[in-house]
Amino acid sequence: MRRLWRSTICAINVVAPSLVFMTLGSAAYAQKAPPEQAKLFDYSTTATVPAMAGGVLRKAKCCDVTEWKLVRPADAEGGGDIELTVVAPISKGRHPTVLWLHREGNEVKRAMFVQEAEALAAGGIASLLVELPFKQPYVHRANNNAGDAETIRAAVIDTRRAMDWAATRPEFNIDKLAIVGHRFGAWAAALVAGVDKRVDALVLMSPPGKPSGWLQVTEQAKAKQFRESFDKDSWIGYLASIEPLDPERWIQYAAPAKVYFQFGSSDGWVQTLEQVDLYRAASQPKARQMFDSDEMLNEEARKDRGLWLKKVLLGK
């Protein structure tokens, strides 16, 4: 698809939903977690941020696919753009919406969810695929031992900015909003649901439960190598930085959102006890399913979450 980017900046009180991203920010929505805890994810509420849209690719009997870039406010951490893919039903009107948050890894992109988004669009559900800063997790940064914590926090804020933008768009009905996250994406999704009342439903695919605890004891090869790359003081600092962000601390605040866990029986990163503890910590309503798979899950899980999303968002 040829991408022809156009940019528009508009005042916050001007309605131009097809062109502009308006940062409504956390002040517009009551917090769910205690304020002192939730302030970790406060973000700018004053800047007007331009959105740049690429050309639209229409897929017959399915959807319109458009690439977008949202520019963070000048005072935001990280700077640069938030890249998004919109997969919208061809039919006009505001549609129930799914935000997709991908897993970590250098090779991973938001495109991993395109096929699922297209299948939902054929049934009347719009999707927003968010590119997240999860390229190099569990890498010892000699000059920044809080690197993973900062990445997770940035992902939560980027997701909330994407939700703000979706509220201005004609294809999205964020009064019916679900988030699907995989691994680090599930980590971020659990935190978003803990602070933002706009989330109606949550699918957590192979989510970590308590990384700050698991990383201290696991014999998983890559994680053990990561742990052993620190000196004692730096390791203590790293654990202290991620402990406040453990999903197990936040998932209790997801209600009234429906929470659905998808676990793999042979997950190489999250152990069974951690899965059980995370599920127990979650607010009601909640459900879980174990699949005969590793942490990548399988085709059965893909079909299962598609059916669950349709039931929750469309009532069928």
Asked if residue 1 is part of any domain, the answer here is: no
For the domain that residue 232 is a member of, what is the CATH number?
3.40.50.1820
Q: Look up residue 19 and give its amino acid.
A: L
Token readout for 246 is 């453990």
91-102 pLDDT tens trace: 999 999 999 999
Asked if residue 113 is part of any domain, the answer here is: yes
129-161 pLDDT tens trace: 999 988 666 655 655 666 788 889 999 999 999
Asked if residue 102 is part of any domain, the answer here is: yes
Asked if residue 59 is part of any domain, the answer here is: yes
Angle 121-127-129 (CA atoms, 0-180°, nearest 5)?
A: 135
Between CA 304 and CA 292 the distance in angstroms is 13
pTM of the prediction? 0.87
Asked if residue 149 is part of any domain, the answer here is: yes
Between CA 206 and CA 195 the distance in angstroms is 21
Task: Give the SS3 label for residue 115.
Answer: helix
Q: Which domain holds residue 281?
A: 6-314
Q: How many domains does the chain have?
A: 1
Task: Give the SS3 label for residue 167.
Answer: coil
Asked if residue 101 is part of any domain, the answer here is: yes
For 149-179, b where at least 16 C-beta lie within 10 A, e where not — what string?
Answer: bbbbbbbbbbbbbbbbbbbbbebbbbebbbb
Asked if residue 307 is part of any domain, the answer here is: yes
Contacts (Cβ under 8 Å, ≥6 apart) of 125:
89, 95, 96, 97, 98, 309, 310, 313, 314
Q: How much is the pLDDT for 103? A: 93
Q: How much is the pLDDT for 212? A: 94
Between CA 238 and CA 210 the distance in angstroms is 14
Q: How much is the pLDDT for 271? A: 84
Which residues in the chain come in under a pLDDT of 50?
1-30
